[in-house]
Structure 1
Amino acid sequence: MSYEPSYAERIRYKRLQDAAYQAGLDAATNLQAALALAGMVLPSLANDGPVGARGFVRLGGCSVAVANQLAEVIAAGAHALQERSM
């Protein structure tokens, strides 16, 4: 015998899925904007839809040059945050 979720449970799950999708879309947009400030683009950066009612962002592949540039930007930002908290 299998479990059949109630109508209320299905609605609740759909709302969770919708919220997760929106969270992934917002996160991908925020990351894309932040990368643009650094003059960078990850061509395959996208919302990948909800996974288990959680937002999921697909970063995808990029060239070695972009990966190294991204590492530099992240490290510089991390150092700036550390200096600010001192």
Structure 2
Amino acid sequence: MPYDVTQAERLRYKRHQDAAYQVGEEAVTRLKAALALAGLTLPSLHNDGPVGCRGFVRLGGCSAALASRLAEVIAAGAQAMRDQQQ
């Protein structure tokens, strides 16, 4: 026998989906700003909407040169964080 979803359950699910979408939007905004500080742009970076009530950010494709530069920036930032903790 199939389970019928109540109106309250539908509304609760929609609230979770809306919150997940907002989390994705905020993550995209923060990541774009951080990349801009390093002079980098991921052309396909966008909010891909909620997936399973969780925010989902699509990073998309980029050139190998951009991926290498991004790796350098991440590594340098990680090293700076480690140095700061010591």
State the match for 1:75 in structure 2: 75
Following TM superposition, by how much is the alpha carbon of 1:4 offset from its aligned partner in structure 2, in angstroms? Answer: 1.2
State the match for 1:3 in structure 2: 3
1:59 is matched by which residue type in structure 2?
L
Note the residue ranges of structure 1 that are not aligned, 5 or more in a row: none
SS of the counterpart of 1:21?
helix
Following TM superposition, by how much is the alpha carbon of 1:23 offset from its aligned partner in structure 2, in angstroms? Answer: 0.2
User: Sequence identity of aligned pairs in percent?
Assistant: 67
State the match for 2:55 in structure 1: 55
Note the residue ranges of structure 2 that are not aligned, 5 or more in a row: none
C-alpha distance in structure 2 between counterparts of 1:33 and 1:78, whole Å: 17
TM-score (norm 2): 0.98
SS of the counterpart of 2:42?
coil
SS of the counterpart of 2:20?
helix
Aligned length: 86
Q: Does 1:23 align with 2:23?
A: yes
1:84 is matched by which residue type in structure 2?
Q
Regions of 4+ moved over 3 Å: none
Following TM superposition, by how much is the alpha carbon of 1:39 offset from its aligned partner in structure 2, in angstroms? Answer: 0.4
Following TM superposition, by how much is the alpha carbon of 1:34 offset from its aligned partner in structure 2, in angstroms? Answer: 0.5
